Structure 1
Amino acid sequence: MAVRHFSTGSPFEEQIGYSRAVVADGWVFVAGTTGYDYATMTMPAGIAEQTSNALNTVAKTLEQAGCSLDHVVRVTYIVPDAAEWPECWPITRDAFAVAKPAATMMSAQLQNAEMKIEIEVTARLPD
């Protein structure tokens, strides 16, 4: 079984030692992704814009791996402040309108205080 690894070039991937995504046996596992704009390493202040950035990064990574947000079967959202979570719903609803993956939202502290959401997905490569 060939395993493929994908990177966004984020310095965190190198510093911490992980891949943005790993493809194995028809599955695509995308690591927890925050709202950074990885081209500029800037983080927007609001959770809605961070959610959009994170989902854009996830979508680009899935595309590199050979699938899309429409192939996501599982998504986990982690937010430090659960009261902000409803601001994300319109964005997540649009992103997963086709896939409608199984989903979990957890409230937990993230790596940096500026991070308001982290999104992790599992997708299945199309036949």
Structure 2
Amino acid sequence: MELTKLKSGSILEHHEGYSRIVALDNWIFTSLTSGRNFTTRVMPETTIEQAKNAMKNVQASLEAVGASLADVVRRRIFITRQEDVPEVMAYMGEIFRGIDPASCVSCGPLGGPEYLFEIELTAYRGAGSLPVNNLSISL
């Protein structure tokens, strides 16, 4: 087995003692990721722009450990304002359509007033290249 811990350089990772990604063999777990630009440290003012930046952040992190969004099997999305849910989830639909991971969306306060969106992913390296058995149930 191999354990990989990826840091993004965030001061919070050091201060709070966590990694951006922990990969245990092919399982990949991302920490809750905001839309703050990792390089400039700027946080966009709108929820949709934070969502777009957060997706850039998680995509770069996944690529750093040899994975991609196609390998995502579960996502957890946190949006502070309910009125922003339709726009953000339409964007998420564009990104994840065809990948179709298990999903959770929650609305409520986050770690500070500037945080409007955060996302956490679980991926399995190589899942995106596996054959899919699509099932459907009707209740």
TM-score range, shorter chain: over 0.9
The CA distance in 2 between the partners of 1:60 and 1:120, in whole Å, is: 14
Aligned match of 2:113: 113
Residues 41-50 or 96-105, more deviating: 96-105
2:73 and 2:26 mapped to 1: Cα distance?
Answer: 12
Deviations 1:35-80 (A, max 9, x none): 1001011101000100000011000000011110111000000112
Could you tell me which residue of structure 2 aligns to residue 58 of structure 1? 58
The answer to whether 1:34 aligns with 2:16 is no
TM-score (norm 2): 0.87
| Separation in structure 2 between the aligned mates of residue 6 and residue 108 of structure 1, nearest angstrom | 28
Larger Rg: 2
SS class of match (1:41): coil
TM-score, structure 1 length as denominator?
0.95
| Superposition deviation, residue 17 in structure 1 | 0.9
Number of residue pairs matched? 127
Task: Quote the residue 2:15 is aligned against.
Answer: 15
User: 1:72 is matched with which residue?
Assistant: 72
Cα deviation 1:80-106 (Å, max 9, x = unaligned): 212211121232112212311110001
CA distance in 2, matches of 1:50, 1:76: 15
Gap regions ≥5 residues in structure 2: 128-139
Whole-angstrom CA distance in 1 between matches of 2:97 and 2:70:
8
